Amino acid sequence: MLKGKKGLIVGIAKAQSIAAGCAMAFKASGAELCITYQNDKARKHVEPVANAAGADMLLPLDVTDHAQTDAVFSEIEKNWGKLDFLLHSIAFCPQDDLHGRVIDCSQHGFGLAMDVSVHSLIRLANRAEPLMQNGGTILTVSYHGAEKVVDHYNVMGPVKAALEATTRYLSVELGPKNIRVNALSPGPLQTRAASGIDHFDTLIDDAKTRAPLHRLTTIDEVGAMAACLVTDFARSVSSNTAYIDGGHHVV
């Protein structure tokens, strides 16, 4: 279903990452991939995923480094000449700010969380736009804490709310070019990013208990939804937040 389509995946930390599940689903559907890693320390965890997904390119990308961003898109343009889809699956907040009350969040921590988690999507979408000459798909990863107050999610709630709002605005601005923009919203998953949240086990137990399906979502299931949204089956789907959480968000 994705044969001939070329995609950039940003945000794999290790094999258990949501972005890793998406990478494998994209590959299984026939896509060609460019995968990035944050730094040399992260490369040893990302490279096995890139190899398993048969990635054409494995490139360094710290989204706060504009030169690295330029280099990634230059390589994509040189090797492919186009880009069909982009997955943005990154978020960050300093621990002290993440574990404290929103009202106590520092200006620096809030600004850094917004820059890495939200404005980086804008920067990547800006660079992807000219390479999506025949249309394309941009995906990002959110969480139900963007819509409802979730205990211990703290400042990442407002940050994810900003991410979802940004997704909607980008979808309207890029829609005339047939570029669709959507957010994926999985339930609690045992990922490296989630491990930084206080009392995360409580969120896991709550999801298992209250979700209509009474189980956790897997990264493979998130990947399946991501791959579907990139295919032409979803050609009318944009400005949407797709929940992959066993129905937990309605309870």
Q: From CA 66, how far away is CA 123, in angstroms rounded?
A: 9
Looking at residue 233, the DSSP 8-state letter turns out to be: G
What amino acid occupies position 20? A
Q: Is 143 a catalytic residue?
A: yes
Tokens, residue 56: 């054409």
Give CA–CA dist 123/88, Å, rounded: 11
How far apart CA 171 and CA 163 sit, in angstroms, is: 12
Share in percent of the chain as helix, strand, coil (round to 5): 50, 15, 35
Q: Residue 37 has what DSSP assignment?
A: E
The continuous run of DSSP H or E covering 204 comes out as helix 200-210
d(CA 198, CA 123): 30
**Catalytic residue at 153?**
yes
User: If you search the block for the tokens 């494998």, which residue do you land on?
Assistant: 24
User: Residues 37, 153, 169, 243: which is the catalytic one?
Assistant: 153
Radius of gyration of the chain (CA): 17
φ/ψ of 39, rounded to 5, equals -160, 180
In this structure, what token pair is assigned to residue 195?
């491990």
Catalytic residues: 143, 153
